[in-house]
A and B are shown apart, each in its own frame.
Chain A
């Protein structure tokens, strides 16, 4: 059998997803055994023109991580889609918009204003901002456009499968690669992880009392966590109940609550709304003042509940138009 051709590409990402692939260590060699890497700009010397020269559907499987932030990302995603039989969104940013997606609380103008002028570490007396076109020594240089809105990969191209996680855990990548090479893939559009929430696999789930009632909410630096007891019941906002499992409870085992990187389950269209609705459902409700206090304990609710999924939520972004009466 001919070796499969695979491509790997990054859009708006931190590099953690690439790192996760490198972290596969010797297992990556098994992959190389079965496949030829035909594009991986981070590790190997390929150029965009190489891809452009491939025939359509030349690539068997293309893994794309990172969110869509620049025009370049969109352009590359569309190019790779054309050249690939199968596209896999790899990691939370590509799957849901991820951490870069939180920038949808602002737009290009407000982001530039802060980053290039107002941030305390910036010295920019001339007020220079990146321009899409610049003339220097008679040469015209071009930069990609910065969009107002960050999008997930499937908001610009069709995606066949999703490998979730920030970053995807070694086991989830291995399982996905095995499924791809053995042809044992589920229905198109599936997320290649558990079909149950994290609690199902969490070692602390069985320590839960019959009823969970929150009378205070604490951030991890405000409490000495008991690692033998479900974090949620200790008043820490663990998103395990509202997050797809399959991560092997790595954060929990590492002593931290789930922050939701595997995203929602299939039935959920908005992870943050579900999270807010389940958390508020278990707040002690007998005393109105207490309710208010507990709710005020939730610092930065969007950052907490929508940490990885704002671009794929129902709201998608903040509306920056100020309505005048």
Chain B
């Protein structure tokens, strides 16, 4: 075997490392370690002179292992790997030691002990480096198409960008129409432009774009394959309408006798059993709601079928499954409102005049249940009806948000939405009185502070700093709010005809299951977890899967659109070269040892291992395309047959025993 020749480089990281320990002193210690040929220190190893130092030494001293003691490998491993490549060394002969996050940053106060720790960590790295061996990466082909899941503004923007870049896009949306939450809004803060007016043209662009295949009323059931070549199983829910035959004339909808509370109108209006989500729906093809269609539940009616001029109604329709092959996936499934019934003190769902901000959007919208009239709510024989114009409206911010008992994080929307809602009311009903109960006004975005100043200076808008403790209902349906105003230090009792809750916003229904299909992680709030909070905001732990918009965490529309554009750019960068490089630290089986016990198969989260029977012997086989190198199998294998390249038992144990100074043989 070739003699192991190690070069060690200690980075000062400016004062981050050298401010606590003395790299020069450490270098003196290191030459005593086995196989170490040179040891050096430098101010910034990642800089151009730092990298050149390594490259030159590799040539001059004939080095074949490099140890860089600096920051986290997550930060600079690729940087130093490329230095090795330039000097003609295999990049997997590099070992990084994180002496910044693991030593100087955390033990700043005890430099002497820190130095000992640094020396120990480097000693361990030397022993590991001795056991490293070169690894090769493979080039794997990619499919130049992308799946976008969720047709809100994020999914729309990402689809359009990707289609423009020349990729084929499959846009899968679970509802009948694309548009998402933005389609439900009347106007958008802080500019107050009409939401539909800016959204619907983009929806039309999607439907006209030859590169985009719109697959609404569908959900993703299964994802197999690997980054660059995913195989996606999509369930197209039974529509009961032949969309190829249908022309979208809407006669069926008009004639259908069954009325159902409309999801789009947040229960304030009704739709038919055969319906479009909303009049401007894209695609303009209706579906039948099987839970409310009189024919499908009771066997009588078929009115739509009678009136349909093209014979498109298809009562015998069933769910259909299609398989899509895509190279990358953009997840843009948005959010939903927190269930306000859980905050019983506000009486939502019990008091008819306590509504959500989204319900107010529907009341204020020209295409809403009241054609844009803001009214109180009446209930007549079980049916919701518009009432009178409210004289006083209370708007409660942070309803459920920033609350230990409900949702801990800030929704990042409620403050601005609440101010916008005050504007809706002040504008439509100039004689009304609007009271905003806030905790803090968080006006961080572009134009937000100006918007806040503008709304709070309206003569009929009043600001109360406090969250109502409880709401009571009067006989006539009006409400009494009990709130402590910390600005004036007074407990107030507010009478209001209508209360608007700016609700907490949470991951959409079913995301927990979908996330497991995607095999991506989530943050404590349940939103999709980005790979790095600052540097990789759209990437996930799975290559080729990106997050766009609200699903990564609360965002208003401008942020959503920017984020979606970034996700589209990341997905197209991922596919642009036409190939991806496989990760080399995969699992592999020593077939002489494997007993076929099946433990590895049971633990692999990516279903990358199968037991195959050859000549009557059961043996584990790793599918190198599916393996992500997570190491679960290697840790679980009871016989030591399963090893992971770059993290073999030998490499890890040599490192551990060096740390323990020979405690472990």
Residues of chain A whose beta carbon lies under 8 Å from any beta carbon of chain B: 195-200, 205-206, 208, 210-213, 240-242, 245, 265-269, 274-275, 277-278, 281-282, 314
Contact across chains for A212 and B599 when beta carbons are under 8 A apart: yes
In the assembled complex, B601 has its CB within 8 A of some CB on chain A? yes
Q: Chain B, 598-627, contact with A by CB distance < 8 Å: what is the 0/1 string?
A: 110111000000010100011000000000
Checking A205, A268, A269, A277 against B597 with a beta-carbon cut-off of 8 angstroms, the contacting residue is: A205
Report the separation of the CA atoms of residues A210 and B609 in the bound assembly, to the nearest whole angstrom. 10
Nearest chain A CB to B626's CB is how many angstroms away?
Answer: 15
Contact across chains for B638 and A278 when beta carbons are under 8 A apart: yes
Checking B592, B599, B664 against A281 with a beta-carbon cut-off of 8 angstroms, the contacting residue is: B599
Contact across chains for B618 and A212 when beta carbons are under 8 A apart: no
Q: Which chain B residues border A240 with CB–CB below 8 Å?
A: 595, 597
Contact across chains for B598 and A242 when beta carbons are under 8 A apart: no
- Also in contact, A267 and B640, with CB within 8 A (given A211-B602, A281-B632, A314-B664): yes
Q: Which chain B residues border A199 with CB–CB below 8 Å?
A: 595-598, 618
Checking B594, B598, B599, B611 against A196 with a beta-carbon cut-off of 8 angstroms, the contacting residue is: B594
In the assembled complex, B637 has its CB within 8 A of some CB on chain A? yes
Known: A205-B597, A210-B611, A282-B603. 16 other contacts (CB 8 A): A195-B593, A196-B595, A196-B639, A200-B594, A200-B617, A205-B598, A206-B613, A208-B598, A210-B601, A211-B601, A240-B597, A241-B638, A241-B639, A266-B640, A274-B638, A278-B599
In the assembled complex, B26 has its CB within 8 A of some CB on chain A? no
Nearest chain A CB to B655's CB is how many angstroms away?
Answer: 14
Report the separation of the CA atoms of residues A242 and B636 in the bound assembly, to the nearest whole angstrom. 10
Contact across chains for B638 and A197 when beta carbons are under 8 A apart: yes
Contact across chains for A200 and B618 when beta carbons are under 8 A apart: yes
Nearest chain B CB to A260's CB is how many angstroms away?
Answer: 10
Report the separation of the CA atoms of residues A209 and B664 in the bound assembly, to the nearest whole angstrom. 36
Report the separation of the CA atoms of residues A249 and B617 in the bound assembly, to the nearest whole angstrom. 16
- Also in contact, A282 and B599, with CB within 8 A (given A196-B593, A269-B653, A269-B664): yes
Checking B593, B598, B613, B665 against A267 with a beta-carbon cut-off of 8 angstroms, the contacting residue is: B593
Report the separation of the CA atoms of residues A314 and B653 in the bound assembly, to the nearest whole angstrom. 12
Contact across chains for B639 and A197 when beta carbons are under 8 A apart: yes
Report the separation of the CA atoms of residues A242 and B611 in the bound assembly, to the nearest whole angstrom. 17
**CB pairs A–B below 8 angstroms (5 shown):** A197-B593, A200-B597, A210-B598, A267-B641, A274-B640
Q: Which 10 A-B pairs have the closest CB atoms?
A: A267-B640, A281-B636, A242-B638, A197-B595, A241-B597, A200-B595, A241-B638, A199-B597, A278-B638, A199-B595
Nearest chain B CB to A199's CB is how many angstroms away?
Answer: 4
Contact across chains for A205 and B599 when beta carbons are under 8 A apart: no
- Which of B596, B638, B653 has most chain A Cβ within 10 Å? B638
Nearest chain B CB to A107's CB is how many angstroms away?
Answer: 20
Number of interface residues of B (CB under 8 A): 28
Report the separation of the CA atoms of residues A212 and B598 in the bound assembly, to the nearest whole angstrom. 8
Contact across chains for B602 and A212 when beta carbons are under 8 A apart: yes
Nearest chain A CB to B622's CB is how many angstroms away?
Answer: 15
Report the separation of the CA atoms of residues A196 and B638 in the bound assembly, to the nearest whole angstrom. 11
Nearest chain B CB to A209's CB is how many angstroms away?
Answer: 8
Contact across chains for A195 and B592 when beta carbons are under 8 A apart: yes
Chain B residue at minimum C-beta to C-beta distance from A196: B595
Q: Chain B, 574-589, contact with A by CB distance < 8 Å: what is the 0/1 string?
A: 0000000000000000
Nearest chain B CB to A274's CB is how many angstroms away?
Answer: 6
Q: Which chain B residues border A269 with CB–CB below 8 Å?
A: 653, 664-665
Contact across chains for A281 and B639 when beta carbons are under 8 A apart: no
- Also in contact, A275 and B599, with CB within 8 A (given A196-B593, A269-B664): no
In the assembled complex, B199 has its CB within 8 A of some CB on chain A? no
Chain B residue at minimum C-beta to C-beta distance from A282: B602
Contact across chains for B595 and A245 when beta carbons are under 8 A apart: yes
Report the separation of the CA atoms of residues A241 and B663 in the bound assembly, to the nearest whole angstrom. 27
In the assembled complex, B213 has its CB within 8 A of some CB on chain A? no
In the assembled complex, B43 has its CB within 8 A of some CB on chain A? no
Contact across chains for B665 and A206 when beta carbons are under 8 A apart: no
Report the separation of the CA atoms of residues A212 and B597 in the bound assembly, to the nearest whole angstrom. 10
Report the separation of the CA atoms of residues A200 and B598 in the bound assembly, to the nearest whole angstrom. 11
Q: Which chain B residues border A206 with CB–CB below 8 Å?
A: 613, 618
Q: Which chain B residues border A277 with CB–CB below 8 Å?
A: 635-636
Nearest chain B CB to A306's CB is how many angstroms away?
Answer: 14
Q: Which chain B residues border A265 with CB–CB below 8 Å?
A: 593, 639-640
In the assembled complex, B649 has its CB within 8 A of some CB on chain A? yes
Chain A residue at minimum C-beta to C-beta distance from B598: A208
Interface residues of B in 623-665 (CB under 8 A from A): 632, 635-641, 649, 653, 663-665
Q: Which chain B residues border A208 with CB–CB below 8 Å?
A: 597-598, 611
Chain B residue at minimum C-beta to C-beta distance from A244: B639
Contact across chains for B640 and A268 when beta carbons are under 8 A apart: yes
Nearest chain A CB to B656's CB is how many angstroms away?
Answer: 10
Report the separation of the CA atoms of residues A277 and B604 in the bound assembly, to the nearest whole angstrom. 14
Nearest chain A CB to B397's CB is how many angstroms away?
Answer: 34
Contact across chains for A267 and B597 when beta carbons are under 8 A apart: no
Contact across chains for B635 and A281 when beta carbons are under 8 A apart: yes
